[in-house]
Structure 1
């Protein structure tokens, strides 16, 4: 991997419009995927698992595309010391699964 390259990943998260910092630690680890299809498939599997339990209710979830800062010593240190939010250049909600 050459220095300066940005990476694109996909993830999902609960829709929470009242949350100020998307990348704040919530106690639930983030799961990242190489491509949109894998993230979407995992999200649909999760929905199936949740909906199969009569006691659980599916909360709206958002599928997200994340682009990192260019890879550098500084950006890796930011990731390690400050968390994923310090390493994210941009992210967008691709779809909301209700």
Structure 2
């Protein structure tokens, strides 16, 4: 019997967001990346855009590593019906960008 695969992705969020609410649906989509370097590049680009705006205020941002549950019909249904949080097996903050 084969084990369904799980996957590792990276994303980011404002460091001010309470951890217990991290995966709650807010209507604002998360961006996911296949590696930490791509996630970091996206955060740095976002930071440069905000810093260039005279009214912009940069919040500290966390780069996060997530591991999904093994992919199965049930876990995909949980993802579709309940959002990303229902599909996450493990979550870790790997870096904070000031």
TM-score (norm 2): 0.92
Find the aligned partners of 2:18 and 2:68 in 1 and give their Cα distance. 24
Match of 1:37, SS? Answer: helix
Number of matched pairs = 97
Match in the other structure for 2:11: 11
In proportion to residue count, which structure has more helix? 2
In the TM superposition, structure 1's runs of 4+ consecutive aligned residues that sit over 3 Å from their partners are: none
Q: What does residue range 39-78 of structure 1 map to in structure 2 within 5 Å?
A: 39-78=39-78
TM-score (norm 1): 0.92
Q: CA RMSD in A?
A: 1.4
- Pick closer, same or farther for the CA change 1:18–1:38 going to 2, 3 Å: closer
Query: Structure 2: which 5+ runs fail to align?
Result: none
Match of 2:85, SS? Answer: helix
Offset at 1:19? 4.9
Match of 1:6, SS? Answer: coil
